[in-house]
Every structure is written in C-alpha cells, then in structure tokens.
Amino acid sequence: DGGITQSPKYLFRKEGQNVTLSCEQNLNHDAMYWYRQDPGQGLRLIYYSQIVNDFQKGDIAEGYSVSREKKESFPLTVTSAQKNPTAFYLCASKDELTGDNSPLHFGNGTRLTVT
Amino acid sequence: AQSVTQLDSQVPVFEEAPVELRCNYSSSVSVYLFWYVQYPNQGLQLLLKYLSGSTLVKGINGFEAEFNKSQTSFHLRKPSVHISDTAEYFCAVSEADAGNQFYFGTGTSLTVIP
C-alpha cells in the first residue's frame, strides 16, 4: 500500500541536541510538507518542498532545517536553536500532477519530547 | 492569507444524536475546502473535500458538508454519531491557483457520550 511513513513514532532528546525526524513516501508525490501540532493551535507549517533540491520556509521555520535530496524523502532536523521543540510533528505530501485541488496526505506523526 | 475559524473547540454529543461542526474561512477568492479527522496520536485522515460543483459533499463514515459561498462556510454534519466518531476534526482551505498553501483551523474535539 502507498503511504507516508514517519519514524520513529516517539522520540526523546536532551535539551541542546539536534534531532532528525524521518519522512518517507511511496506515493510518487512531488510536494512534501512538515507541520507542527500543539494542543489548541492546530497545524502550523514549518517547511515545504515542491520539488527535489528545493524547499521553502513556512510560518515557523526558525530552529528547523530540512533537505530534499530524493523525491521520496523529506527529513526534518530540529536544532538546538528551537526554543520549544516538544510537539507532535506531522509530515504530509501532495500530488501536484492532479492540480491545485489535490488534498494533503499525512503520515502518522512523530511525538518529540525534549527535556 | 486565509484564516480558518472553527468556533467550537469542544463539542460533546450523545450517541445517535446529530452533530454539526462549524467552519468559516476568510477569503472570497475561489477555494478548495477539506475536512480531516485525527484520532489520538495519529495523523490526519481526509473525510471529504469540496472542489467544485454540488455544494453538498459526502464523505467517509457517514459525514457530509455543505459549502456556502455567501457565508464563506463549510460546516460538517452527521445525522447520527457513534462512539467511534470521537476524535479531533480539522477544517482546511487552499486557494485556487495557489494550491500549495493549506490553511488549517484550530480543530474541534468531538466527544460522543454513550
């Protein structure tokens, strides 16, 4: 079955450490996204990428970095510069070929806890 | 930029009762509208979408939504809820000709009471 795989599901880190969250998709989608979810705040866009080797900052990119070396993969690094990194992180993808009206497809998320 | 408002942060409802979850968006440009459901510690799953045509759209699990352009609303309804409908529901909007940006509401937590 096609889908988006995020790993690990739960991640624990000490403050001051960088951590990388994995996102892999086999849907052959061009566009990929990273969202952060906090209770009562909905989803906030961190970064998105419409094509390999290109990505754009979203609304809350500070303290995060991404790469898009392969179409299938869009890893997110949470750096030590991110002041409040504990959150639920969601990766999504979108089929650009079917046009603007395609929905987002989501992975099952990674819950990051930093202490 | 769009803003999406889900006025009700929590909606308790008894099992087998009807429910309506409200969603309003800000822009008058052409939009695509989506409702997603999220179960605890999982990702978002698409319930239904409005792209064009009939203003009443039907989705999975017996949900439906009605697009009202004049009121810039896209309310989600179900005539009879089940315990299994307990979840978080998100309304999302993307703009025609700018389809890479999605705007999400803050979510409505639906709790079905036995």
User: Which of A43, A54, A112 to probe the B interface (max B CBs under 10 A)?
Assistant: A43
pLDDT tens track for B86-110: 999 999 999 877 667 899 999 999 9
What's the confidence (pLDDT) of residue A10? 95
The residues with which B74 forms a beta bridge, in sequence order, are B67
Hey, is the C-beta of B46 within 8 angstroms of any chain A C-beta? yes
By Cβ distance, the residue of B32, B90, B99 closest to A42 is: B90
pLDDT tens track for A63-103: 999 999 999 999 999 999 898 999 999 999 998 777 668 89
Is A50 in contact with A96 (CB distance < 8 Å)?
yes
| Shortest Cα–Cα distance, A54 to chain B (Å) | 14
Q: Name the DSSP letter for residue A71.
A: T
Separation between Cα atoms, residue B114 and residue B86, nearest integer Å? 11
Above 90 in pLDDT, residue A114?
yes
Hey, is the C-beta of A97 within 8 angstroms of any chain B C-beta? no
Separation between Cα atoms, residue A114 and residue B107, nearest integer Å? 25
Chain A residue with minimum CA distance to B5 = A42
By Cβ distance, the residue of B41, B99, B102 closest to A111 is: B41
Per-residue pLDDT for chain B (114 aa), expressed as one digit of tens each? Answer: 789 999 999 999 999 999 999 999 997 678 899 999 999 889 999 999 998 888 999 999 999 999 999 999 999 999 999 999 999 999 999 987 766 789 999 999 999 999
* Total Cβ atoms within 10 A of residue A108: 18
Above 80 in pLDDT, residue A1?
no
What's the confidence (pLDDT) of residue A96? 76
Residue B54's alpha-carbon distances to A104, B49, B97, in angstroms, are: 22, 11, 21
| B-chain residues near A4 (CB < 8 A) | 43
| Shortest Cα–Cα distance, B18 to chain A (Å) | 24
What's the confidence (pLDDT) of residue A20? 96
Chain A residue with minimum CA distance to B99 = A100
Contacts of A97 (CB under 8 A, 6+ apart): A30
Tokens of A26: 């086999």
Above 70 in pLDDT, residue A45?
yes
Q: Name the DSSP letter for residue B42.
A: S
What's the confidence (pLDDT) of residue B30? 84
CB contact under 8 A, A104 and B106: no
Hey, is the C-beta of B94 within 8 angstroms of any chain A C-beta? yes
What's the confidence (pLDDT) of residue A40? 80
Q: pLDDT over 90 for what percent of chain A?
A: 83
